[in-house]
Structure 1
Amino acid sequence: MTKYSNILVVADPEQDHQPALSRAVDLAKCSQDVTITLFLAIYDFSYEMTSMLSADERQAMRRGVVMQREEWLKDIIQPYLDEGFHIELSVVWHNRPYEAIIAEVFSKEHDLLIKATHDHDKIGSVIFTPTDWHLLRKCPCPVLMVKEHSWPENGKIIASVNLAADSETHDKLNDAIVTEALSMAETVGAEVHLVNAYPSTPVNITIELPEFDPASYSDAVRGHHLTSMKALRHKHGLPEEQTHVVEGLPEDVIPNVAKELDAELVILGTTGRTGLSAVFIGNTAEHTIDRLNCDLLALKPEGYVSPLSPHPEQDKIS
């Protein structure tokens, strides 16, 4: 069963239907004693600019807006409460939603954050907002970005692994990604597929070194990745037909395989201040994720310390 028992769901302030809450409830159905907190950070600049009002009056107006939104969310969660789910509400006044969300994660020690993304009208993929990117990069717990669809029975989950680097950090993160995929698959009744992209032969090498054999080089690179993938799938007990080693850039390979398999979820690792550099280099992460037409679960490496941690030094020591 999945290990998540204290889930934070970010409410969409623009609509009554809440896909992120629906996904949290789906996960809660599969586990015991799951607490879900539906969270909303609101802010209206006009209330801060009303110089005719006293500080107390402005505070009272803010409180009125918060209470109004709390009543709205109470109506949304009531059907789930009637079914026996444990759902709490938290509405705060804050001008930077991602900071408020991460502060809530720290203060209540949530072990999963779920937020809905928005479909892109033209290309069928997902639009990530600045808030989404801040959460993916800085949230200390796993972040699940969901689309507006249900997870099918006997679906497919992709574990996106990086087999290019031989380092303990990458190995641990790969193991964490595959373990998470297997755990999630067991919970929702899905099949796990491992995906790894390996680079094409650089064109400039073949020009600068006439004796260079691009075919042999490409075979050697592919061979290394296949060997590493074989070791990884053996370690986790997965059959060969559920592994994919594909030549190309991650931002092309991962969305393409996800589309071919009709995957419901892609799991990948994130690391560092620059974002998703454990799997991607530079801005390729943004290109990859924006092209995914399914849910995304982003994991942090072991020992990750959020730049928004209230106790960064203590976190490093622990």
Structure 2
Amino acid sequence: MEMYQNILVIIDPTTDEQKALKRAVDLASRIHKNNNTAINITAFFSIFDFSYEMTTILSHNERDSMRQMVIDEKQKWLDEIIAEIAPNTQVTSKVVWHNRPYEAIINQVIEHNFDLVIKGTHQHDKFKSVVFTPTDWHILRKCPCPVLLVKDHEWPKNGNILAALNIGSDESEHSSLNSKITKQAKQLTAVVDGNLHLVNSYPGTPINIAIEVPEFDATEYNAVMLKHHQEAMNTHAEQFGVELTNTHIGEGLPETVIEEFARKLDAELVVLGTIGRTGISAALIGNTAEHVIDQLNCDVLALKPDGYISPLAN
């Protein structure tokens, strides 16, 4: 597995519990064991204190000096965290001063060619649901490399990995993204000794047609749609050597179907594609992947289509 050789781990400065770092160390050791490849891990976060920027009585150099003192203090804390969590792993630590965490993260990815970002998500004990911060959404939309959002649990042997596909579409972008999702999910499955499952949703009968056209046969329509998606899924599964018994197709919205099968299979990880949207369209429409991610209660690996360029890339 050659795709993850340079991993950026996003540290949460509010806690000593660093699930993203733990996941990175575990994944790196498994990849190394699998093919003897050295993996670079960088633990990173950005800090910003507006009060340092507003101190007009200080000179420019004095402000720089104060900022550096804060950075050095945080860097020392981070090095202690790394020594505790990953004593036997080479991890580089990096702290920068930046007022927008997601920009600082994506800048690092672009400047240093990271091929995976790992970040912890926030869990609400009250509902046992995951809450995503604005930073999470910005990273998912704008980060050019894969993003792994993790929760606080292990990836056990023989666990299930679910690749969420958009099968049945004739668009080449969907086809190439389906291939990318399946390849990465398959490689991860091999590394963690897991089981790969493929899931796809298809739309049900359009309600307005069923109402407005009395002779419309909803049952026949559904049967034709299911057959089309089943055949497309079988072709895709055979192409990638996935057992047909590990393919799943459901009628309904992607977010509903993917969440349902992730729950049924008790999936450790869902791998899906996300088309980066920015501006008004992102605010109004959102992204299918984002709706899916919101519903899931497991780790998520989000991939961009080949050729995606981040809006932050200058």
1:98 lines up with 2:102 in the alignment: yes
The one of 224, 227, 234 equivalent to 2:231 is 227
Q: Which residue of 1 aligns with 2:56?
A: 51
Q: Which residue of 1 aligns with 2:6?
A: 6
What is the letter of the counterpart of residue 63 of structure 1? Q
CA distance in 2, matches of 1:223, 1:194: 16
Q: Identity across aligned pairs (percent)?
A: 54
CA distance in 2, matches of 1:159, 1:76: 33
Q: Which residue of 2 aligns with 1:247?
A: 251
Contact kept in structure 1, 2:274 and 2:289, CA below 8 Å: no
CA distance in 1, matches of 2:23, 2:178: 25
Q: Which residue of 1 aligns with 2:43?
A: 38
Contact kept in structure 2, 1:201 and 1:214, CA below 8 Å: yes
What is the letter of the counterpart of residue 38 of structure 1? A
1:65 lines up with 2:70 in the alignment: yes
CA distance in 2, matches of 1:202, 1:274: 29
Count residues in correspondence.
305
Contact kept in structure 2, 1:16 and 1:76, CA below 8 Å: yes
TM-score, normalization: structure 2?
A: 0.93
Indicate how the Cα distance of structure 1 residues 274 and 211 shifts in structure 2: closer, same or farther if over 3 A, else same: farther
The one of 179, 182, 200 equivalent to 1:178 is 182
**Structure 1 residue 283: Cα displacement:** 4.6
What is the letter of the counterpart of residue 63 of structure 2? R
**Structure 1 residue 147: Cα displacement:** 0.6
Q: Deviations over 1:164-206 (max 9, x none)?
A: 4112211111011011110000011110000001111011101
CA distance in 2, matches of 1:18, 1:80: 8
The one of 113, 116, 131 equivalent to 1:112 is 116
Indicate how the Cα distance of structure 1 residues 34 and 283 shifts in structure 2: closer, same or farther if over 3 A, else same: closer
Q: Which residue of 2 aligns with 1:199?
A: 203
Which stretch of the first structure deviates more once superposed, 48-57 or 37-46? 48-57
- Please list every run of 5 or more consecutive structure 2 residues that lacks an aligned counterpart in the other structure: none
Q: Which residue of 2 aligns with 1:314?
A: none
Which stretch of the first structure deviates more once superposed, 49-58 or 131-140? 49-58
Q: Which residue of 2 aligns with 1:22?
A: 22
CA distance in 2, matches of 1:272, 1:283: 8
**Structure 1 residue 2: Cα displacement:** 5.2
Q: Deviations over 1:3-52 (max 9, x none)?
A: 31110001001101110000100111121211100001000111112222
Contact kept in structure 2, 1:195 and 1:244, CA below 8 Å: yes
CA distance in 2, matches of 1:28, 1:282: 33
CA distance in 1, matches of 2:155, 2:104: 29
What is the letter of the counterpart of residue 44 of structure 1? D
Alignment of 1:224-303 (within 5 A): 224-274=228-278, 282-303=286-307
**Structure 1 residue 237: Cα displacement:** 0.9
Q: Which residue of 1 aligns with 2:140?
A: 136
Q: Deviations over 1:54-107 (max 9, x none)?
A: 222221111111000000011011145641x22101100000011111111111
CA distance in 2, matches of 1:270, 1:155: 24
CA distance in 2, matches of 1:241, 1:132: 34
**Structure 1 residue 118: Cα displacement:** 0.6
SS at match of 1:140: coil
Alignment of 1:120-159 (within 5 A): 120-159=124-163
RMSD, aligned CA: 1.6
The one of 154, 157, 165 equivalent to 1:161 is 165
Contact kept in structure 1, 2:161 and 2:185, CA below 8 Å: yes
Q: Deviations over 1:220-261 (max 9, x none)?
A: 111111010000111011111100000111111111111111
Contact kept in structure 1, 2:25 and 2:86, CA below 8 Å: no
TM-score, normalization: structure 1?
A: 0.92
**Structure 1 residue 122: Cα displacement:** 3.2
Which stretch of the first structure deviates more once superposed, 237-246 or 161-170? 161-170
Which stretch of the first structure deviates more once superposed, 72-81 or 221-230? 72-81
SS at match of 1:69: helix
Indicate how the Cα distance of structure 1 residues 135 and 282 shifts in structure 2: closer, same or farther if over 3 A, else same: closer
